[in-house]
């Protein structure tokens, strides 16, 4: 098969995908704790929106839900770490340490942006 023809076909497909699929830019904050999930971020955003429109009842409700979900997420993360230590999976423990220290090191780089 002709290399130029394959390259053209691939380029056309990439351009098609760019036109058809929506492109979103998502900011990644490396200073987030390791137990922060998309559900928690969603609740935080709901709380911010309620605060903007001064809906105090929704703020109270969202804060209550946020506390509950945060407590659950921290507990899940703690149990995950305990499982890794109990099963003597040293490789997983070191991966966790690397992730933790990398997130601390990247805290200073607030301009980190990743595409979703």
Q: Burial letters for 32-46: b for 16+ Cβ neighbours within 10 Å, e otherwise?
A: eeeebbeebeebeeb
Give pTM, 2 decimals: 0.54
**Beta strand ranges found along the chain (DSSP E):** 25-27, 113-115
Q: Round to whole Å and give the CA distance between 11 and 60.
A: 51
The arithmetic mean of pLDDT across residues 55-66, rounded, is 92
| C-beta separation of 14 from 90 below 8 A | no
Q: Where are the alpha helices (DSSP H) in the chain?
A: 3-20, 38-52, 56-86, 90-105
Q: Report pLDDT digits (tens) over 15-33.
A: 887 777 777 776 666 667 7
Sign of CA dihedral 74, 76, 104, 24: negative
CA 35, CA 79: separation in Å to the nearest integer?
11
Supply the pLDDT for residue 114: 40
Kindly tell me if the per-residue pLDDT of 112 is higher than 50. no
User: What is the per-residue pLDDT across 87-99, written as a single tens digit (0 to 9) for each?
Assistant: 777 777 777 777 6
Q: How far apart are CA 61 and CA 106, in angstroms?
A: 33
Structure tokens at 95: 């991966």
């Amino acid at each position: 098969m002709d290399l130029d023809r394959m390259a053209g076909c691939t380029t056309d497909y990439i351009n098609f995908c760019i036109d058809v699929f929506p492109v979103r830019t998502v900011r990644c904050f490396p200073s987030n704790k390791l137990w922060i999930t998309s559900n928690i971020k969603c609740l935080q955003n709901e709380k911010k929106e309620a605060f903007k429109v001064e809906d105090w009842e929704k703020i109270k409700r969202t804060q209550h839900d946020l506390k509950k979900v945060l407590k659950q997420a921290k507990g899940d993360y703690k149990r995950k770490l305990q499982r890794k230590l109990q099963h003597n999976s040293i490789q997983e423990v070191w991966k966790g340490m690397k992730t933790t220290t990398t997130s601390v090191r990247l805290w200073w780089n607030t301009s980190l942006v990743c595409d979703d």
